[in-house]
Structure 1
Amino acid sequence: MNLLFVADPLESFKTYKDTTYTMMREAARRGHAIAACEPHDLRWQTGRPVAARVRPIHLTGQQDDWFTEEPAREAALKDFDAVLMRKDPPFDAEYLYATHLLQQAERDGARVFNSPQALRDHPEKLAIMEWPQFIGPTLVTRDAQAIRAFHAEHRDVILKPLDGMGGMGIFRVKDDALNLGSIIETLNQNGATSVMVQKFLPEIAAGDKRVLIIGGEPVPYCLARIPQGGEVRGNLAAGGKGVAQPLTDADRATATAIGKVLAPRGLLLIGLDIIGTRVTEINVTSPTCFREILDQTGCDVPGIFVDALERAVGG
């Protein structure tokens, strides 16, 4: 296959842990050709297919100088066998515009994973609303008084922005409501921005589990991201410790139920965040943790993913 990865700058990759790199490495091992571009490289003009200035690359196997590249060239996205959208959040206006360009590329005949429409339809914080049976008490609002009432009911809560990633902007407010007003002002900007508030789940002490779903099927192992020190956040970007472990029966049942519904919508790869038995987020933009699970358990997550990609393209 001839693959195009729409991603962050290649020079920013940390290959010892980067999931997109593990995808590329497995694809290259199988003989697939790889090119990359960034969302700002996408372009459309009347009478022409969606195209991009792409960088054909070859992997070296080294950790630092991990790729060499051929001269960049203009290419229509429809001429690739698959286009993989792997741009990290935030899910801002430019990300949204990129999904529209990618959807136009689909009209041209391109195969895009995850589906651009599915990316728009399933924002990572809000996608959990479809699954009330799997989540804990949650509020989404701009209303400061509603946030205060939710805290008064549940006494210990987590507040987060809807467009954050890696634990950015997450606050815990305990029973004493210390700094609740200031946190509300910071997050909702005087009612201009919606905020998610969730009841604090003490099971976070055992880790915020990243459960991967590929082609509708859960990967047998998850990565429990365990908060360190005085942190409430388990995110690896916030200093959490990643410990791979087999799925529990409950996590497998939850992932199977969600995967069977979401995969047919064009979501080849999904990352559930589960604390205890409660789903807190459904990640669809650029789910990670392939490398950590592979290194700790030997479970070939990149292989499972490329198998699913090959089936999707071949089908």
Structure 2
Amino acid sequence: MRIAFLADPLDSFKIYKDSTYAMMREAARRGHEVWAFEQEAMRVQDGRVVAHAQALALHEGGDHWYRVLDRAELGLTQFDAVLMRKDPPFDQEYLYATHLLEHAERQGARVFNRPRALRDFNEKLAILRYPAFIAPTLVSCRPDDIRAFLAEHGDIVLKPLDGMGGSGIFRLRHDDPNLGVILETQTHFGRVTVMAQRYLPAITEGDKRVLLIAGRPVEWCLARIPKQGETRGNLAAGGTGVARPLSERDREIACALGPDLVAQGLLLVGLDVIGDCLTEVNVTSPTCFQEISAQSGIDVAALFIDALEENLTLKN
């Protein structure tokens, strides 16, 4: 098969932990052609969605982990699969890319995750689809609403709807001397919508990343433990990743959401779970493949390529 990865610049990959690299490596190991292109390399010409793409040969380790075998302008329908692995932010250019990818789908391209699902599933707001599994949550742009929510729960977390890697997240308590300025800054004086959730003390045990592949949970998750004095467990915020078997609650959440997520066209999803509560549904470019594989012995990339091959075979 010929598999294209729409991704960030290849030279920016940290291959010791990058999940897209793990996918590429496994696809190449199986003899599939691995191609890559960036978001800016895609365009519509004469009605066709095309991209300036590179065919890659992969090498194990080192800074020079790939070699370009060929460069070509190809229609997205000329690939057996296009994997959308561009990291957030989900900005206007990302949005436009999903529209181009959806146009390519109409022409016959196979895109994973589906572009419409990428637009529909804001990674914070998507939890509202599954109210049985979430902590008390408020979504509002009004500082007074957030103050009332804080008064009710006493200890909350405030997060932007477009953040990633834990950026812009604040823990707030009723006696916080900076409460006013934080609310003004986060809501831009009542003009930007944010999410507030009751603080979950179980964060000290880790913010768990539960991977769903074709609706089925990987049997181990990655618990991201906050560093000392930090509320956020995100690895980008200094958290430590510890792989663990899924708890009964983790599996309950994953199995309940799996069928719906697959029906939406989401082949790969990363659920974030703190304690017993679902906190995010990550669909843009879920990570943690290599951390889970290294500590559990589960080859997550192999599970993913298995699912991709199965999906493509069933559709042909």
TM-score by length of 1: 0.98
Query: Could you tell me how far 1:112 is from its partner in structure 2?
Result: 0.1
Residue number in structure 2 paired with 1:5: 5
Check conservation: 1:91, 1:163, Cα contact below 8 A.
yes
The residue type paired with residue 16 of structure 2 is Y
Distance 1:189 1:272 in 2: 29
The residue type paired with residue 74 of structure 1 is E
Residue number in structure 2 paired with 1:132: 131
The residue type paired with residue 71 of structure 2 is A
Check conservation: 2:223, 2:242, Cα contact below 8 A.
yes
Query: Could you tell me how far 1:72 is from its partner in structure 2?
Result: 2.4
Question: 1:102-130: per-residue Cα shift (whole Å, max 9, x none)?
Answer: 00000111000000001111110110010
Are residues 1:156 and 2:187 paired? no
Distance 2:177 2:124 in 1: 25
Residue number in structure 1 paired with 2:180: 181
Residue number in structure 1 paired with 2:279: 280
Check conservation: 2:213, 2:304, Cα contact below 8 A.
yes
Q: Which segments of 5 or more consecutive residues in structure 2 lack a partner in the other structure?
A: none
Check conservation: 2:7, 2:87, Cα contact below 8 A.
yes
Check conservation: 1:49, 1:78, Cα contact below 8 A.
no
Query: Could you tell me how far 1:71 is from its partner in structure 2?
Result: 4.1
Query: Could you tell me how far 1:299 is from its partner in structure 2?
Result: 0.6
Distance 1:100 1:63 in 2: 36
Query: Could you tell me how far 1:183 is from its partner in structure 2?
Result: 1.0
Alignment of 1:295-310 (within 5 A): 295-310=294-309
Residue number in structure 1 paired with 2:63: 64
Question: 1:213-265: per-residue Cα shift (whole Å, max 9, x none)?
Answer: 00010000000000011010000000000000000111101101101111121
List structure 1 segments (4+ residues) > 6 angstroms apart after TM superposition.
none
Alignment of 1:95-106 (within 5 A): 95-106=94-105
The residue type paired with residue 22 of structure 1 is A
Alignment of 1:7-22 (within 5 A): 7-22=7-22
Secondary structure in 2 aligned to 1:14?
coil
Query: Could you tell me how far 1:48 is from its partner in structure 2?
Result: 3.3
Query: Could you tell me how far 1:15 is from its partner in structure 2?
Result: 0.3
Question: 1:172-203: per-residue Cα shift (whole Å, max 9, x none)?
Answer: 11231331111111111122211111110000
Distance 2:171 2:222 in 1: 23
Residue number in structure 2 paired with 1:246: 245
* Root-mean-square deviation over aligned CA pairs: 0.9
Distance 1:149 1:273 in 2: 26
The residue type paired with residue 27 of structure 1 is A
Distance 2:213 2:257 in 1: 11
TM-score by length of 2: 0.98
Q: What percent identity do the matched residue pairs reach?
A: 59
